[in-house]
A and B are shown apart, each in its own frame.
Chain A
Amino acid sequence: MRHTISVLVENKFGVLTRVAGLFSGRGYNIESLSVGETIDPQLSIMTIVTTGDDQIIEQITKQLNKLIDVIKVVDLTEIDHVEREMVLVKVAPKQEDKAEVLRLTEIFRGRVVDSSPRTYTVEITGDEKKIEAFIELMKPFGIKEFVRTGKIAIAREGVKK
């Protein structure tokens, strides 16, 4: 099963490699990993999406906790949480399709963040399903490339961690 794991770590050099190395060294999957500072600049949060059966996920959390620079590990999958991802999609629609691309962008509450005579770059934020739906819809118009941030997630307030 897929799990979204939130890992609070020391904001120190080398921590990302320790975490990534743990996954590669023990043969665990990383579907996505995103990392950024927190309100305390000495700490960072990593959101890791991974897959595995219960036993593997238990090992992943335990092994993460073993790292000295890891302060807290929360498997968000088990609790109510909000997750978001962003994608930048560069589409190159034909002249007659441009309006439709803009209309769909609007429906998805996206924004055009860059345009050239041939292309639009559209920014979409949402959960994974929404991102994937948008990409699917854009495919017929000709996607030149897209870049995804990977998931970030946070527990809903009032939920015990």
Chain B
Amino acid sequence: MKMLGAQIVIECLKKEGVKHIFGYPGGVVLNIFDFLYDDKDIQLILTRHEQGAVHAADGYARSTGKPGVALVTSGPGATNTVTGIATAYMDSIPIIVFSGQVPTKLIGNDAFQEADIVGITRPCTKHNYLVKDVKDLARIIREAFYIATSGRPGPVLIDLPKDVTSDKTQFVWPEHVSLRGYNPKYEGNKWMIKQAAHAIQKAKRAVIIAGGGVIHSAATKELKELAEYTQIPVIMTLMGLGAFPGTHKLALGMPGMHGSYYANMAIQNSDLLIAVGMRFDDRVTGRINDFAPHAKIIHIDIDPSSIRKNVRVDIPIVGDARRVLKGLVNVLKEEEAKNQWDEIRKAWLKQINKWKKEHPLSYEYDENVIKPQFVVEKLYELTKGDAIVATEVGQNQMWAAQFFKLSRPRSWLTSGGLGTMGYGFPAAMGAQVAHPDKTVIDIAGDGSIQMNIQELATCVLYKLPVKVAILNNGYLGMVRQWQELFFKERYSYSHLDTVPDFVKVAEAYGAVGLRAEHPSEVEPVIKEALKVKDRPVFMDFIVDWKEKVFPMVPAGAAIHEMMFGEEKKSKKEQKLRAVK
């Protein structure tokens, strides 16, 4: 049957099982919007900004494992997606962005609302396409979904000139994708896996670092099996949070700049580092020359270019984390059924427990001012940890990472690689669309939330009960923290001066606004918010603006050179630390 390009787009989306699109219309995509108007299977969520649409598609993808889809118009619509695409790219999130384009004949003409979005997004997409002929359309869409979701996932953009959407052709859904330049390798090299097993058997002080790749490849079960079987403690990077239960006795929290003392000490003293689906970001390694100086490194990653990019690697294994971990456990079980793992690890785990006692993650509770960490703890407690948690960027993100002990994968939405303020709220919205009955919380800063605050309208319109917990400190807090610690307390442009009345803002949009100014109000406000099921809620927590994120590894230091924030305090004050 002959179909218009616009209709082919919709049919392809259905073939890919797409139920929701996040988008915003404009001149050159009206053909597609026209077909969406009375479509029964696909719902378009009309966001209030294209950046919001892309972050929402990203949140949808992170929380489900399925690709998220966004549809925007040409020119400004397309350029507004760039931050969202770059965010997804850095964190390897599968999304497909359809952008409208001026008719093929006008391309290159500086036509009205023309932007070379394929050129602009080339370095921040896994791949992108300009469709020049409607006959290529179905194949390209099929390829795009395949590329976005296979191997190391990532965003793909498809630029659709207006005439391509109004030209007709026979609709043929390609059965197979064949790309001779793209063959992701899933199976790890058997010999290398054996080497890794031997290294594990020999190691006395082994530690696992799990990254986002464990979540992408659904390897949490295999990871747990490896850790428990061999009694190796597990550290999770910011992207890996949720890959291993945060409350497990082998869980050591996050490494790096704002990681736990014991995670960093474990790395620095280890004789074997098993890195899975992580890429040794500089926020994790600190000063690279002093990173894990005594460790042999096993690096498992599906992307060969991640291996040996930043650190030396002794045993590289290119492959899918789940398959490799499974293979590894099998080899270990076959080869050394009688290995006394508990015995071997005893001294190491004892040492780690000592570090845990020396510097647990903690903060000083105050009964007069709300501590931001207290809010995160209460959110954790009152949801029993059963929530999808998004974050913005800044101190709020780090406190959320430290104090919300995630137990499940795909319940953590945070912009790790790009660190995009304004990501959390629309991402939470996307996750809520995919999981209408789940509690979805965005732990936000007063600065970040204003970067995509317009999505309140979208949440109200579609009755999405996203809960936003604003840790309102009146500052670009993380910037302020750096200025306090490293710029002689010269607070250059980090005070927000005016922060809107978030309760009134919420109410103006038709959402619920709540405020807590005293620690005693925190729990009631959260309880009240959790009851709301039909619209978004802003919780405005007026928190201690002086609070800083600790521990901290200053930029350029080795990861064991940590600051704990107690340097200036008296002994008596130190004793007051709430140790949980």
Q: Are B122's CB and A68's CB within 8 A?
A: no
Q: Is B174 engaged at the interface, CB distance under 8 Å to the other chain? A: no
Give the distance in Å from the alpha carbon of A21 to the alpha carbon of B121 in the complex: 11
Q: Is A25 engaged at the interface, CB distance under 8 Å to the other chain? A: yes
Residue of A17, A21, A62, A71 touching B180 (CB-CB under 8 A): A71
Interface residues of B in 169-222 (CB under 8 A from A): 179-182
Q: Is A55 engaged at the interface, CB distance under 8 Å to the other chain? A: yes
Residue of B119, B181, B182, B304 touching A62 (CB-CB under 8 A): B304
Closest to A22 in B: B123
Q: Is B305 engaged at the interface, CB distance under 8 Å to the other chain? A: yes
Q: Is B530 engaged at the interface, CB distance under 8 Å to the other chain? A: no
User: Which chain B positions have C-beta within 8 A of A58?
Assistant: 308
Residue of A18, A25, A68, A71 touching B147 (CB-CB under 8 A): A68
Q: Is A115 engaged at the interface, CB distance under 8 Å to the other chain? A: no
Residue of A14, A62, A69 touching B118 (CB-CB under 8 A): A14
What's the nearest-Cβ distance from chain B to residue A151, in Å?
A: 23
User: Which chain B positions have C-beta within 8 A of A123?
Assistant: none
Residue of A14, A21, A63, A68 touching B182 (CB-CB under 8 A): A68
Q: Is A65 engaged at the interface, CB distance under 8 Å to the other chain? A: yes
Interface residues of A in 1-36 (CB under 8 A from B): 9-10, 14, 17-18, 21, 25
Question: What 0/1 readout, one digit per residue, does chain A (68-109) give for beta carbons within 8 Å of chain B?
Answer: 111100000000000000000000000000000000000000
Question: What 0/1 readout, one digit per residue, does chain A (31-74) give for beta carbons within 8 Å of chain B?
Answer: 00000000000000000000000010011001101111111000
Q: Is B309 engaged at the interface, CB distance under 8 Å to the other chain? A: yes
Give the distance in Å from the alpha carbon of A58 to the alpha carbon of B127 in the complex: 22
Give the distance in Å from the alpha carbon of A9 to the alpha carbon of B179 in the complex: 12
Given A59-B305, A66-B303, A68-B181, 20 new contacts (CB under 8 A): A10-B180, A14-B118, A14-B122, A14-B130, A18-B122, A21-B122, A21-B123, A55-B308, A58-B308, A59-B309, A62-B304, A62-B305, A63-B305, A65-B305, A66-B304, A67-B181, A68-B179, A68-B182, A71-B180, A71-B181
30 inter-chain pairs at a CB distance below 8 angstroms, sorted by A residue, are A9-B181, A10-B180, A10-B181, A14-B118, A14-B130, A17-B119, A17-B122, A18-B122, A25-B123, A55-B308, A59-B305, A59-B309, A62-B304, A62-B305, A63-B305, A65-B304, A65-B305, A66-B303, A66-B304, A66-B305, A67-B181, A68-B127, A68-B147, A68-B179, A68-B181, A68-B182, A69-B181, A70-B181, A71-B180, A71-B181
Smallest CB-CB A-B distances: 9 pairs:
A62-B305, A71-B181, A68-B127, A68-B182, A25-B123, A62-B304, A70-B181, A71-B180, A63-B305
What's the nearest-Cβ distance from chain B to residue A39, in Å?
A: 15
What's the nearest-Cβ distance from chain A to residue B309, in Å?
A: 6
Give the distance in Å from the alpha carbon of A10 to the alpha carbon of B308 in the complex: 28
User: Which chain A positions have C-beta within 8 A of B127?
Assistant: 68
Closest to A71 in B: B181
Interface residues of B in 306-348 (CB under 8 A from A): 308-309
What's the nearest-Cβ distance from chain A to residue B145, in Å?
A: 13
Q: How many residue-residue contacts, CB under 8 A, span A and B?
A: 36
What's the nearest-Cβ distance from chain B to residue A66, in Å?
A: 6
Give the distance in Å from the alpha carbon of A70 to the alpha carbon of B147 in the complex: 14
Give the distance in Å from the alpha carbon of A70 to the alpha carbon of B179 in the complex: 10
Question: What 0/1 readout, one digit per residue, does chain B (105-147) give for beta carbons within 8 Å of chain A?
Answer: 0000000000000110011001100100000000000000001
Give the distance in Å from the alpha carbon of A18 to the alpha carbon of B118 in the complex: 11
What's the nearest-Cβ distance from chain A to residue B525, in Å?
A: 46
Give the distance in Å from the alpha carbon of A25 to the alpha carbon of B309 in the complex: 15
Give the distance in Å from the alpha carbon of A18 to the alpha carbon of B127 in the complex: 10
User: Which chain A positions have C-beta within 8 A of B122?
Assistant: 14, 17-18, 21
User: Which chain A positions have C-beta within 8 A of B179?
Assistant: 68
User: Which chain A positions have C-beta within 8 A of B130?
Assistant: 14
Interface residues of B in 152-179 (CB under 8 A from A): 179
Give the distance in Å from the alpha carbon of A18 to the alpha carbon of B179 in the complex: 17
User: Which chain A positions have C-beta within 8 A of B119?
Assistant: 17
Closest to B182 in A: A68
Closest to A65 in B: B304
Give the distance in Å from the alpha carbon of A156 to the alpha carbon of B336 in the complex: 48
Closest to B124 in A: A25
User: Which chain A positions have C-beta within 8 A of B304?
Assistant: 62, 65-66
Give the distance in Å from the alpha carbon of A116 to the alpha carbon of B506 in the complex: 80
User: Which chain B positions have C-beta within 8 A of A63?
Assistant: 305
User: Which chain B positions have C-beta within 8 A of A17?
Assistant: 119, 122
What's the nearest-Cβ distance from chain B to residue A24, in Å?
A: 9
User: Which chain B positions have C-beta within 8 A of A69?
Assistant: 181
Give the distance in Å from the alpha carbon of A59 to the alpha carbon of B147 in the complex: 21
User: Which chain B positions have C-beta within 8 A of A59?
Assistant: 305, 308-309
User: Which chain B positions have C-beta within 8 A of A66?
Assistant: 303-305
User: Which chain B positions have C-beta within 8 A of A71?
Assistant: 180-181
User: Which chain B positions have C-beta within 8 A of A18?
Assistant: 122
Closest to B132 in A: A13
What's the nearest-Cβ distance from chain A to residue B148, in Å?
A: 11
User: Which chain A positions have C-beta within 8 A of B181?
Assistant: 9-10, 67-71
Question: What 0/1 readout, one digit per residue, does chain B (279-311) give for beta carbons within 8 Å of chain A?
Answer: 000000000000000000000000111001100
User: Which chain A positions have C-beta within 8 A of B309?
Assistant: 59
Closest to A42 in B: B180
Closest to B128 in A: A14
What's the nearest-Cβ distance from chain A to residue B39, in Å?
A: 30
From A17, A59, A66, A71, residue with most partner B Cβ within 10 Å: A66
Give the distance in Å from the alpha carbon of A59 to the alpha carbon of B311 in the complex: 12
Give the distance in Å from the alpha carbon of A55 to the alpha carbon of B309 in the complex: 8
What's the nearest-Cβ distance from chain A to residue B414, in Å?
A: 25
